[in-house]
Structure 1
Amino acid sequence: MSSTHHGFSDDFDVIVIGGGPAGATTAALLAQRGHRVLVLDRERFPRYHVGESLIPGFMLPMEELGLTERMEARGFERKYGGTLVWGNNEIPWSFNFSTGGRIPYSYHTRRADLDTMILDRARELGAYVVEEATVKETIEEDGRVVGVRYALRGLNGIQEARASLVIDASGQARVIGRKYSEVNWHDQLQNVAVWTYFDNCHRLPGDEWSNILIEGIKDGWFWGIPIDKGVFSVGYVTRSATASASDKALEDLFVSEVEQTTKLKEILKDAHQTSGYRTARDWSYTNERFYGNGWVLVGDAAAFVDPLFSTGVALATMAGSTLSKIVDKILQHPEIEEKALDRYAAAYRDFFGDIRYFVEQFYDRSKTKGFYWSMAQEITDPDKENADEVDFVKLISGLSGKHRLFNLEFDDLIADTGAPSDD
């Protein structure tokens, strides 16, 4: 093995592009299983990222990583549920995560702190992490991706690293996905978001104190996330077409639409804005291909759904946990790679599709909460083993549990490869 100026060789079992939650989780769990893993990220952590509210499903991979106590020690704000102004006549209603299973809470966090904690854990478990490293291209041999070329910020020249498998966890940058796969945008979720941060905010009353607020208005909806103390992340989401048709800039639209709210306006009545506005648009998509010869996608690099229920980080880390188990099997039995990744891709696509379908239907605000509960039950529990409210909370918590993505088995593939030939 050759040596580089990093002090380690350039040959690995796995290269992970992206050190965010999906990449760091996948890398950490592979390193924990004894594999040689390189993580490349173009940023220097801690770095800003939106998506401060988490769901209980996120706690499952954090348990695997041994990070739940650290999250508590860091003083992250516990999140016990949500309050919605949504549905028929936009009547306020709430849900509690305790209804949905054994994990009764998650957290609101500053993503810079959370993401750094997960990436640092990957280091602790033995992954090699190189920050400020921009992947320029893949290395191909005989049609297979066998590594990447990357540049380090502030240094001349291009570095190379090789591996048995390359994982794209680069988020919406889709470093490998852009080259090897088309992307399908979801027409019903072509939205635009504009958000900012406020200090000196009020809180929701009583048991709703740390709930995320989701408040629907005529042409869109707002989120209100209590990050810590009196600080709130506040964002407005509307159809891209609606925003384009408006004669107002997104920032002015945000201000005018806040006046149409009830609960959010009360939270912000004595607050002052503490940052500029940020925007994003048309973010709901699925790649046509989730894997290829020598590469595989995970997290937002594979697919992303509208942020209505704050599922992004949980889906990314849960998929990363699943992928780490699959890649571990592939590294031990390389001959099962294609079939194993095909099984992963099909299950991942189905799981994501269920979430996307639910969010698309939930955007119909003419219904009652009972309709939304029943819809969740149809998706996750058609035999009606639970009450429909329980199924609703399980779904939006990421804890429905029965989906095949989290129960994939590969013993049959391994047995097939070990069977004697008929020749």
Structure 2
Amino acid sequence: MSSTLFGVPEEFDVIVIGGGPAGSTTAGLLAERGHRVLVLDRERFPRYHVGESLIPAFMRPMKELGLTERMDARGFERKYGGTLVWGNAQVPWNFSFIEGTTHEYAYHTRRADMDSLILDRARELGAFIIEEATVKEPIETEGRVTGVRFTLRGTDGMHEARAKLVIDASGQARLLSRKYADVTWHEELRNVAVWTYFDNCERLPGDEYTNILIEGLDEGWFWAIPIDKGTISVGYVTRSEEANKDGKSLEDLFKDEMAKSTKLKKMLEGANQSAGWRTARDWSYTSQSFTGNGWVCVGDSAAFVDPLFSTGVALATLAGSTLSKIVDKIIQHPEIEEQALKRYVTAYRGFFDEIRTFVERFYDRTKYKEFYHSLAQEMVDPDRERTPSANFVQLISGLSGKHPMLTLTIDDLIDEGAEPAAEQS
């Protein structure tokens, strides 16, 4: 590596590509366990990212990182549940996290602030963080990924770093998974979103004050996320083919559909648009391989699902927490790598597919809330140990408690009496 990167070694236990929530959670927890970790991100934090609403599953890895009290100290707004205008006859209904989980709240937050908080914590725990670093390609040695080559903004030439394992947390850029694996697109969720931000908004009344609003219409749905006292993020999601009808721009489509809304329209009566328009499309996919020789994916580089229930960040950080435990054992016992990562992939895919399947079926807006509650029970509690409404809350909170993703262990893969690799050297 170039000598201009003062104080940064060339050899690491783990290189993490991407400093977003998945990458920084994984890196921070590995560094806390004493491993030498390098994080490379092409941006300079804080940087913009959509996805301001979080769910209770997110609180588990944040507790591990020691960040829960800091989120309150930073003034992030607590989120206690949601309000939906969804289903047959568009009747409004609510849910509260306390009904189905041990975490009664999550947060709404500006992602630039939240993501910086997690990345700074990884740095504080001992990870080497290099921002404005663009990974160009993996380094391969005898068919195994053993490092990466990257450029650094403002410098000439290519830099190299090597590691025992490389983690792709590069989000939808999918820097390694794109090279080594194809993706499966989820046709039922081929959607387009257009969003912006509003100031001077009216909030939902009473106990709904901090709720996320999800309002369904005939051809799509809106989110409204309260970021602070007077600002909300508002987005419209519809099928890709609907977005192309009649030659309308996405901005005009947003305005026309917003005029048909009920609760959202009331919230925006006295508001003013305070930002430009942003769009995204066709975002629901699963990588056909989450891991390969010397590399493994976490977060959006592995899979991403429609944002209906704000599961993206929680799934990414939960996976990062689980992966950090797996990689910790792999570094100590390299012989278990293949089987350990196979278990991680199986649990991760299963967890993701459970959420994706529920979202796909929830998109049928011809039903009543009791149907959606029963659907959740069918998926996560077939023995009916809890009420259907509690199962619904548990599932959309990302905490369907018996799932292997939340309880994964690999200690049985380690031979009894085997010494960690560091002690054997």
TM-score over 0.5 (shorter chain): yes
TM-score (norm. length: structure 1):
0.97
The answer for the alignment partner of 1:401 in structure 2 is 401
Matched, 1:379 2:379: yes
For residues 6 and 191 of structure 2, what CA distance do their matches in structure 1 show? 42
For residues 415 and 349 of structure 1, what CA distance do their matches in structure 2 show? 27
Matched, 1:157 2:162: no
Q: Deviations over 1:304-358 (max 9, x none)?
A: 0000000000000000000000000000000000111011111111110000000
For residues 405 and 140 of structure 2, what CA distance do their matches in structure 1 show? 29
Q: Deviations over 1:262-290 (max 9, x none)?
A: 00000000000001100000000000000
Give aligned pairs, total.
Answer: 419
The answer for the alignment partner of 1:350 in structure 2 is 350
Matched, 1:410 2:403: no
For residues 246 and 142 of structure 1, what CA distance do their matches in structure 2 show? 55
How many angstroms does 1:384 deviate by?
0.8
For residues 378 and 335 of structure 1, what CA distance do their matches in structure 2 show? 39
For residues 100 and 240 of structure 1, what CA distance do their matches in structure 2 show? 34
Helix, strand or coil: the match of 2:415?
A: helix
Write the letter of the residue equivalent to 2:362.
F
The answer for the alignment partner of 1:368 in structure 2 is 368
Q: How does 1:235-254 map to 2 (within 5 A)?
A: 235-254=235-254
The answer for the alignment partner of 1:332 in structure 2 is 332
For residues 401 and 207 of structure 2, what CA distance do their matches in structure 1 show? 27
Name segments (4+ residues, structure 1) moved above 2 Å: 1-6, 415-419
Where do 5+ consecutive residues of structure 2 fail to align? 420-425
Where do 5+ consecutive residues of structure 1 fail to align? none
Q: Deviations over 1:211-254 (max 9, x none)?
A: 00000011100000000011000000000011122320101101
Further displaced range: 217-226 or 242-251: 242-251
Write the letter of the residue equivalent to 1:137.
E
Write the letter of the residue equivalent to 2:32.
Q
Write the letter of the residue equivalent to 1:91.
V
The answer for the alignment partner of 1:217 in structure 2 is 217
For residues 215 and 2 of structure 2, what CA distance do their matches in structure 1 show? 56
Q: Deviations over 1:371-390 (max 9, x none)?
A: 10111111111111111111
The answer for the alignment partner of 1:78 in structure 2 is 78
The answer for the alignment partner of 1:99 in structure 2 is 99
Write the letter of the residue equivalent to 2:84.
L
Write the letter of the residue equivalent to 2:153.
R
Matched, 1:309 2:309: yes
Helix, strand or coil: the match of 1:259?
A: helix
For residues 90 and 416 of structure 1, what CA distance do their matches in structure 2 show? 59
For residues 208 and 275 of structure 1, what CA distance do their matches in structure 2 show? 25
Write the letter of the residue equivalent to 1:282.
D
TM-score (norm. length: structure 2):
0.97
Write the letter of the residue equivalent to 1:248.
K
Write the letter of the residue equivalent to 2:10.
D
For residues 367 and 29 of structure 2, what CA distance do their matches in structure 1 show? 42
The answer for the alignment partner of 1:174 in structure 2 is 174
Write the letter of the residue equivalent to 2:171.
G
2:2 and 2:159 in contact (8 A); partners too: no
For residues 355 and 219 of structure 1, what CA distance do their matches in structure 2 show? 22
The answer for the alignment partner of 1:186 in structure 2 is 186
Change (3 A) 1:190 1:330: same
Identity %: 70
How many angstroms does 1:415 deviate by?
2.3
1:134 and 1:152 in contact (8 A); partners too: yes
Matched, 1:269 2:273: no
* Aligned-residue RMSD, C-alpha: 1.3
Write the letter of the residue equivalent to 2:340.
A
1:139 and 1:146 in contact (8 A); partners too: yes
Write the letter of the residue equivalent to 1:374.
S
Further displaced range: 354-363 or 372-381: 372-381
For residues 32 and 61 of structure 1, what CA distance do their matches in structure 2 show? 13
How many angstroms does 1:165 deviate by?
0.2
Q: How does 1:109-128 map to 2 (within 5 A)?
A: 109-128=109-128
Helix, strand or coil: the match of 1:366?
A: coil
How many angstroms does 1:186 deviate by?
0.2
1:3 and 1:10 in contact (8 A); partners too: no
1:2 and 1:10 in contact (8 A); partners too: no
Q: Deviations over 1:105-142 (max 9, x none)?
A: 00000000000000000000000000000000000001
How many angstroms does 1:147 deviate by?
0.1
For residues 153 and 33 of structure 2, what CA distance do their matches in structure 1 show? 31
For residues 5 and 110 of structure 1, what CA distance do their matches in structure 2 show? 31
Change (3 A) 1:339 1:416: farther
Further displaced range: 213-222 or 242-251: 242-251
1:286 and 1:303 in contact (8 A); partners too: yes
Write the letter of the residue equivalent to 1:351.
F
Helix, strand or coil: the match of 1:415?
A: coil
